[in-house]
Amino acid sequence: MGKISTLLLGFFIFLNVTKVIGQNDSIPATPKLEVVKDTLTSLEDVPQIIQFEPLTRIDSSRIYNPQRDPKRLWYNTGMYAVTALGAFGLLWIAPESISKWDKEEIKEEGLLKKWKENVKAGPVIDEDDFVMNYIIHPWAGGVYYMSARGSGYKPWECVTYSFLMSTFFWEYGVEAFAEIPSIQDLIITPVIGSAAGEAFFIAKRSIIKNDRKILKSKALGNTTLFIMDPFNELLDIFGYKTKNKIEAYSNLVPLSSNPYSRQFTYGFHVVIKF
């Protein structure tokens, strides 16, 4: 029993000595956060690393990654239909040297009869000039492509859409009322047009990322966007804004610093775009 009492007494003395050492003011304690704040009187006292901005700033208005939206594509198609009828009217009043249409023959035979004759007779190699065949038609094919691409569809789906619109809606549709479908247009519009359309898409993403500016000019940027993708741009203007896919961006940024130890804590800055 005497040995047990001696052990307990020794353990009690050890605990009290440890407590006294722990409370000894001669051993510096790590300052609390509140104390650190009180001692910082100006920005010069804050370690420079704390003042760094995040490595990457994410601005949602500069993101262009369209979400699949069938309703948007239907709106695009409807606007194109109205525009196509307008284009037909402009070609009708244009000189025959531009349209290559025999208007007197069309008037005599009637639109429906002329359409049937032209569809049966085609396709043929047309006699349109270089600008019409190799600039206007590829641009039109690119606009068809962008109508689908800007509605969130995959490239192969956009090529299909461009082919259907240029072939059945225009060549064998609207334009067949006035002339025989063209072999060049049936190939050039969807093929070269789709290649141009994908280039338009890449360019549009870059311009939007650059705050819709080209050469520091928003006017030039917006004009270029409208030329490349008029129907989607009109929908955005009318209030049917492009819906972008959900994307997450992150980068390593400094979160805090100990001004005494000069050690820093880092974390990830994450932005999720819906």
Percent of the chain's residues with pLDDT above 90: 51
Residues 32-74 have pLDDT tens digits of 444 444 444 444 444 444 444 444 555 667 889 999 999 999 9
Rounded Cα gap, residues 186 and 262, in angstroms: 69
User: Does residue 2 sit within a domain?
Assistant: no
- Comparing 124-128, 198-202, 255-259, the range with the smallest average pLDDT is 255-259
| Paired tokens of 138 | 């590829």
Rounded Cα gap, residues 65 and 245, in angstroms: 6
Rounded Cα gap, residues 233 and 200, in angstroms: 13
User: Residue holding tokens 């650059």?
Assistant: 210
Q: Are residues 77 and 42 in the same domain?
A: no
The amino acid that residue 125 corresponds to is I
Q: What is the CB neighbour count within 10 angstroms for residue 135?
A: 11
Point out which residues pair with 257 in neighbouring strands. 264
User: Does residue 34 sit within a domain?
Assistant: yes
Contacts of 165 (CB under 8 A, 6+ apart): 77, 80, 144
Domain count, the chain: 2
Q: Are residues 203 and 135 in the same domain?
A: yes
Rounded Cα gap, residues 8 and 136, in angstroms: 101
Which candidate, 185, 135, 186, 193, places its Cα nearest to that of 159?
A: 193
Q: Are residues 210 and 97 in the same domain?
A: yes
Q: What is the pLDDT of residue 62?
A: 86
Residues 121-163 have pLDDT tens digits of 989 999 888 999 999 999 999 999 999 999 999 999 999 999 9
- The C-alpha angle with vertex 174 and arms to 125 and 201, in degrees rounded to 5, equals 85
Which candidate, 88, 208, 190, 86, places its Cα nearest to that of 147?
A: 190
Q: What is the pLDDT of residue 43?
A: 43
Q: Are residues 124 and 140 in the same domain?
A: yes
Query: Is the pTM value of this prediction over 0.75?
Result: no
Q: Are residues 109 and 134 in the same domain?
A: yes
Residues 14-37 have pLDDT tens digits of 445 444 444 444 444 444 444 444
Q: What is the pLDDT of residue 235?
A: 97
Could you tell me the pLDDT band of residue 238, with boundaries at 50, 70 and 90?
A: very high
Q: Are residues 210 and 130 in the same domain?
A: yes
Range of the domain at 182: 64-237
Q: What is the pLDDT of residue 267?
A: 60
Q: Are residues 84 and 199 in the same domain?
A: yes
